[in-house]
Amino acid sequence: MTQEQFLNVIDRDEAERRFRGAIEFQPLTPEKVPLDEALGRVLAKDVVARVNVPSFDRSNYDGYAVRAADTYGAQEENPRELKLLAAVLSTGVVPSGQVTPGTAIEIVTGGMLPRGADAVVMVEYTETDGDKLLVTKAVTPGFGVSFTGTDVTAGETVLRCGQVLTSRETGVLAAIGADRVAVRRRPKVAIISTGDEIIEPGEPMRPGLVFDSNARILADAVRELGARPIPLGIVRDDLNQLRERLHRALAEADVVLLSGGTSKGAGDLSYRVVGELSEPGIVAHGVALKPGKPICLAAHRGKPVVILPGFPTSAIFTFHEFVAPVIRRVGGRPAAAGETVEGHMAVKVNSEIGRTEYLLVGLVEAGGRLAVYPMGKGSGSVTSFGRADGFVTIARHEEIISAGTAVRVQLLADQLHPADLVVIGSHCVGLDFLLGRLHDQGFTTKFMAVGSTGGLQAARRGECDVAGMHLLDPETGRYNVSFLTPELELIEGYGRLQGVLFRPGDERFEGLDAREAIERVKDNPDCLIVNRNRGSGTRILIDRLLGGSTPAGYAVQTKSHNAVAATVAQGRADWGVAIEWVAQDAGLGFLPLEDEHYDFAIPKTRLDRPAVIAFRKLLADSNIRKQLNQMGFNVDHRPCR
């Protein structure tokens, strides 16, 4: 019998386009697994922390809990003298007393900071003499302390749907107390070997036969992709038997692979059986590749079916070229990949001379090069490691890396996978919700919380796709518009109600107007504020309301609205400023201050990017807007009250 020839050899990109267009990439049914079985799995839903990490204000050193102001001016030749209180704050001990001006309490690493203290002096910079403590080095507020929620705050989205769980992510899950996790089911990939000449490894070799190496290569390649191989054995050159095995594979698996029989010779039956499929059936048979020309790409009711060439080199090459990306996508995984890359530091970084520092960084593309952002949060953070792209090694003799300096980044993954959408700026739980919905659509995102001002600067430099911001121009009374430059476009987001948070029953706040309450307590040394980080829109609002005053606790800064709520709820502070949603979620009292606009600045050069277009469509989607309204956000920018 003469062999039929390939009728329509097409190029690789066209073959891939047809193949992808014939497949239905529906998310696989999620399942819950114990944490010790979660490694390598793909998250099926966003993970929201239900606890704060750390869950209390924690000392980073062995030393003494103090008020930083009491140490100012301390030197070895001129130490500051404090009264040492008769207590030792060990780990697991809840302080019963408090640090008042001129006093200190001994504390161990991991101990809970007492009320009144805002810093820890390391033991090596102190001397004791009875109940006297001599401090020989001054500290600043916050030194030596990991404040409540510094790493993770309750209500914060710590991992997103679609993330592959490495040891970094499982560490995050353990840190927030998760013992089970919702993951996507592993894609099932059926593997059928065909041909009279194929035998199983271990069988006696005879002339004219070959061991089935393709099945082993493919099964292990499938496992490497996080999927589950279903070996269906070797099928001889029997049309009925092959037809029965193919339909069994279609019933059991998410992807079907046949090895061999793709050519159009007398004994090559695979393409004949696959050719009987419909909806749509074969979409490409013969691709301009070397090796791999005979590959046959098909689909049946949205399920991918591929006949790989029989020669092992051709089979594995075409598998990785066409099939592996499909398996990854079916399983919710990103495309694979490298090692080290060069980038340029986005901001100035200070390091401590005398120690080699490994600085965790995030990478974003900007103007054809990579901008390198430090992840921060300190040595105790698990989320920094989980979210970082890589690290920069700072030599022990380097004290400063200036902004713009070229640096070499060691990637934590095999290769860098630039996110489809990079967001830099102010954090908001509404933004978390929107980014989660983008993940549902198959986009990857990266978010860096640097405050409204930092996000605006990043957008001006072209280092992000979107900058979340809520900056008020006091001269015009308008939010955000005045801060735009010609290269930026403002996309309206939603309204948020900012206000004063306090514990219910506190008579210093109950029933008062927010501004009246602030005026009453801002000079009260016994009423502590929890502040926000510099550059954030909320910090700018706070400073405007205080009019130059620095209430007790002013130096303590937190990174998010959620952290403000956690600090007030725990009694570490008595009041703070945050959005209404977090106050309700934490069961706190709330005094409205003002409606603000949380909007998005987008570089005009990035408006046509697919993920940016998808983000804008989300903001315009009526169902998404309804859900944002239900979360307490005002998508119409009308006054919230």
Q: Evaluate whether residue 7 is within a structural domain.
A: no
Same domain for 178 and 190, yes or no, is no
Flag whether pLDDT at 640 surpasses 70.
no
Same domain for 307 and 344, yes or no, is no
Same domain for 462 and 574, yes or no, is yes
Cα–Cα distance measured from residue 166 to residue 221, given in angstroms and rounded to the nearest whole number: 18
Same domain for 133 and 237, yes or no, is no
Same domain for 405 and 445, yes or no, is no
For 500, what's the count of Cα atoms within 13 Å in the CB-facing half-sphere? 29
Same domain for 199 and 269, yes or no, is yes
The model's pTM: 0.63
How confident is the model at residue 632, as a pLDDT? 83
Flag whether pLDDT at 249 surpasses 70.
yes
Same domain for 314 and 225, yes or no, is yes
Q: Evaluate whether residue 236 is within a structural domain.
A: yes
Tens of pLDDT, residues 336-387: 655 788 999 888 888 877 666 778 888 888 777 888 888 765 544 556 666 7
CATH code of 120's domain: 2.170.190.11
Give the Å distances, CA to CA, from 593 to 104, 502, 546.
37, 13, 13
Strands 296-300 and 303-308: antiparallel
When the pLDDT of each residue in the chain is averaged and rounded to a whole number, the result is 88
CATH code of 469's domain: 3.40.190.290
Q: Please check whether residue 180 is in contact with residue 34, taking contact to mean a CB–CB distance below 8 angstroms.
A: yes
Same domain for 178 and 191, yes or no, is no
By residue range, what is the domain housing residue 606? 427-641
Flag whether pLDDT at 4 surpasses 60.
no
Cβ burial of 544 (10 Å; 0-12, 13-18, 19+) is exposed
Domain finish residue from 361, 385, 411? 411
Tens of pLDDT, residues 24-65: 988 888 999 999 999 999 999 999 999 988 889 999 999 999
Candidate from 280-284, 349-353, 379-383, 600-604 with smallest mean pLDDT: 379-383
Q: Evaluate whether residue 2 is within a structural domain.
A: no
Domain finish residue from 262, 296, 330? 330
Q: Which stretch of DSSP H or E encloses residue 3? A: none
Which of these, 354, 355, 357, 397, lies nearest to 374 by C-alpha position? 357
Q: What is the mean pLDDT of residues 490-519?
A: 93
Tens of pLDDT, residues 37-47: 999 999 999 99
Domain finish residue from 330, 350, 368? 330
Cis before 280 (ω within 30)? yes
CATH code of 280's domain: 3.40.980.10
Count of structural domains, the chain: 5
3-state secondary structure of 240: helix
Q: Please check whether residue 68 is in contact with residue 118, taking contact to mean a CB–CB distance below 8 angstroms.
A: yes
Same domain for 513 and 634, yes or no, is yes
Q: What is the mean pLDDT of residues 392-404?
A: 84
Q: Evaluate whether residue 6 is within a structural domain.
A: no
Tens of pLDDT, residues 508-556: 999 999 999 999 999 999 999 999 988 788 888 899 899 899 999 999 8
Candidate from 3-12, 144-153, 195-204, 487-496 with smallest mean pLDDT: 3-12
Task: Tokens for 422, please give them.
Answer: 């990079």
Same domain for 114 and 167, yes or no, is no
